[in-house]
Structure 1
């Protein structure tokens, strides 16, 4: 019997993350991995949830010089590992859905054209999301392509948290505070409702701390305010992004330093944040281990900005019932969590050092009025659930790999 599979793709500037799920019933993960260093010295890494060995191997640069080549390497692996399986739907993480898309949607030519139109709103992410969809369409012309949006979760924000103090025609044209990491916030909010429903029903701040970082005020499971705005550049300092900055600094760079606008964009997106402050790395693990004054200063700046945003978002909510840490740094760095919470006693947070060091589910004391939790995120499961639902709604049938699309001879 043919097993229907769903493939989830998350296309970055030089990487393609993927996850594979059996969707015959409730989604069951079969494999997860990444093709990294696309366009350079590409490498494929994958782990399987079966009696199959993990994979870590270099790929031929001439075959994997773009996202289509990376997808080819992924499909070759899938076909070799699951010869009887058929991919019936592909779910895509898309950073920007604009004002139009507030829910997952089947990708049609009209939808793809709209996502392409939104590239100026997220110039570092959206082009790669679009190219990932195009590559999947070419590989699976009969599969249902589904786009899931990082901005969708935040479309419930009230107007005062959604707008800028600009003439109203800008808001009408789409210049507004969109917020991002919505797939992560959707998952974490759902998990919190499952494991701590009384907290989830109240006032919650979620800190998604990874190479990209943001925070979100959630009330009753709905987004109220986010630290990110018009683009994923705003808000907290990140691995290589500066976060919040006075626009006058940009005017200074353009007018006084006469820097080309593309050069300024590159500086703010890829040469700033933890990397720019430390002069060492954008990887928090490297910074924590280095012990240099510059690394410690970068960490101090990072945690100070997070503390500030806890206060701002709590004020927006009118109080705080729970603070949740998630994503790579949030889930795995006791030091960052401790430094963030160190001066938040005024808001009702009393950290338990032993629980925090163990990355326990709850890292505050039993007497702490505000509960602080560590909740691992899973954006891929949010995407596959949406893709499965839309595929089932369309009464689609399992389709084989098209004969002219098989990848057995691909040089990867």
Structure 2
């Protein structure tokens, strides 16, 4: 019987998904894709085919349990797979820590180890692991694979991997991990020349940059946690570490209060006091909205220059992610701050959302490439399943957890 793989990309209140049929030679063909958004009062499911034609739209009362949410999702997707049987589900997991440097089949020990990493990604890790637990509950025999956002950066050179702290801290796993690795891997796979010096700007609610050379991560802006680096929708990004001490010692703020401040009340929403949504800020005439946008663009431009420095130059700048792909104004403002590097963009191509937006006179190319994390999850899951079946042909029939 033909097989299918489901890729799940879970957030705190939504799940993006894509289902693929596995063909001859393990080729993957997109069967359907979509999203499941859960809000306070309702859950909204949208399913599209490979050409982005809407196949289903379904709204129901919001469900409290992850198991019910997963059951709803599977119930809508599986009938669209035709004669293919769902063989495995791949999950985006934000933090793999020092142990998980490649995709892995999930069992109870793996799940426990991933749960222990929650303090390093409190905003993301629980949402990534909930669907895994739900599937164990409703489909205990279904194989599940964890695919890590940190894995792409696992082999960062020591210059950019290590913090300037005593060696024993790195021995305890305190190092730069980096995130958005599935997105960066997709971009790296899609480029014609792996030798190019590439800076990828993944800009969205969470934002980070990555310097890529020879298809590998050289440096990145996020580090131990997804809080570091660029300012984001609600996250502060890099700040003076002494601020944390000051807030504790002088303002008597607890660790949980500081976590709430830096993860949920900072960044665009903190600076503007209006919204964490870049679209709303761009439409606003409020001076604070402009200040928040200016600081965001200045921070991104500065760090693009830093990423270029670690490669002794840049051949290609790629914009991706929700803001990077869809906001020509933000791209324009960021690139204007890099004119001193010889960057020149074609304003009309940029406004029309063309793939290539640099001029012929530009010292390096600038492209807009929509990311596809789900396809990377599916490929990594397929590879793990192929390997597992080679090692044990009966593995598909065993309970992984």
Q: TM-score, normalised by structure 2?
A: 0.92
**Superposed counterparts of 1:36-47, under 5 Å:** 36-37=37-38, 41-47=42-48
Maintained 8 Å contact 2:8/2:16: yes
Maintained 8 Å contact 1:39/1:65: no
- For structure 2, the residue ranges without an aligned partner over 5 or more in a row are none
Task: Name the counterpart of 1:179.
Answer: 178
Maintained 8 Å contact 1:324/1:375: yes
- Pair 1:47–1:237, CA change in 2 (3 A): same
CA deviation after TM superposition for structure 1 residue 239, in Å: 1.1
**Correspondence 1:218 to 2:237:** no
Task: Name the counterpart of 1:318.
Answer: 312
- Pair 1:40–1:276, CA change in 2 (3 A): farther
Task: Name the counterpart of 1:365.
Answer: 359
**Correspondence 1:191 to 2:185:** no
Determine helix, strand or coil for the equivalent of 1:242.
Answer: coil
Task: Name the counterpart of 2:225.
Answer: 231
**Correspondence 1:260 to 2:254:** yes
Maintained 8 Å contact 2:211/2:219: yes
1:253-280 per-residue CA deviation (whole Å, 9 max, x = no partner) reads: 2222222321221121112111221222
**Correspondence 1:299 to 2:293:** yes
CA deviation after TM superposition for structure 1 residue 69, in Å: 2.0
Q: Distance in 1 between matches of 2:65 and 2:213?
A: 41
Task: Name the counterpart of 1:31.
Answer: 32
Maintained 8 Å contact 1:14/1:39: no
- Pair 1:295–1:56, CA change in 2 (3 A): farther
**Superposed counterparts of 1:274-293, under 5 Å:** 274-293=268-287
- Pair 1:66–1:240, CA change in 2 (3 A): farther
Maintained 8 Å contact 1:38/1:65: no
Q: Distance in 2 between matches of 1:236 and 1:76?
A: 39
CA deviation after TM superposition for structure 1 residue 135, in Å: 1.2
Q: Please provide the CA RMSD for this pair.
A: 2.2
Task: Name the counterpart of 1:344.
Answer: 338
**Correspondence 1:169 to 2:168:** yes
1:369-410 per-residue CA deviation (whole Å, 9 max, x = no partner) reads: 21111111101000101111222233368989x9xxxxxxxx
After superposing on structure 2, the runs of 4+ consecutive aligned residues of structure 1 that deviate more than 6 Å are: 397-400
CA deviation after TM superposition for structure 1 residue 52, in Å: 7.8
Determine helix, strand or coil for the equivalent of 2:123.
Answer: coil
Task: Name the counterpart of 1:410.
Answer: none
Determine helix, strand or coil for the equivalent of 1:31.
Answer: strand
**Superposed counterparts of 1:389-408, under 5 Å:** 389-395=383-389
CA deviation after TM superposition for structure 1 residue 108, in Å: 2.2
Determine helix, strand or coil for the equivalent of 1:275.
Answer: helix
**Superposed counterparts of 1:196-215, under 5 Å:** 197=193, 200-215=194-209
| 338-347 vs 167-176, greater mean Cα deviation | 338-347
1:234-260 per-residue CA deviation (whole Å, 9 max, x = no partner) reads: 000111111111122222222222223
**Correspondence 1:388 to 2:382:** yes
Task: Name the counterpart of 1:107.
Answer: 106
- Aligned residue-pair number: 393
Maintained 8 Å contact 1:88/1:398: no
- Pair 1:176–1:59, CA change in 2 (3 A): same
- For structure 1, the residue ranges without an aligned partner over 5 or more in a row are 403-412
Determine helix, strand or coil for the equivalent of 2:15.
Answer: strand
CA deviation after TM superposition for structure 1 residue 357, in Å: 1.3
CA deviation after TM superposition for structure 1 residue 39, in Å: 5.9
Task: Name the counterpart of 2:373.
Answer: 379
Q: Distance in 2 between matches of 1:164 and 1:57?
A: 48
Task: Name the counterpart of 1:138.
Answer: 137
Q: Distance in 2 between matches of 1:11 and 1:293?
A: 35
1:27-62 per-residue CA deviation (whole Å, 9 max, x = no partner) reads: 12222222223565332222233898543333223x
Q: Distance in 2 between matches of 1:359 and 1:390?
A: 36
Task: Name the counterpart of 2:65.
Answer: 66
Q: Distance in 1 between matches of 2:53 and 2:325?
A: 28
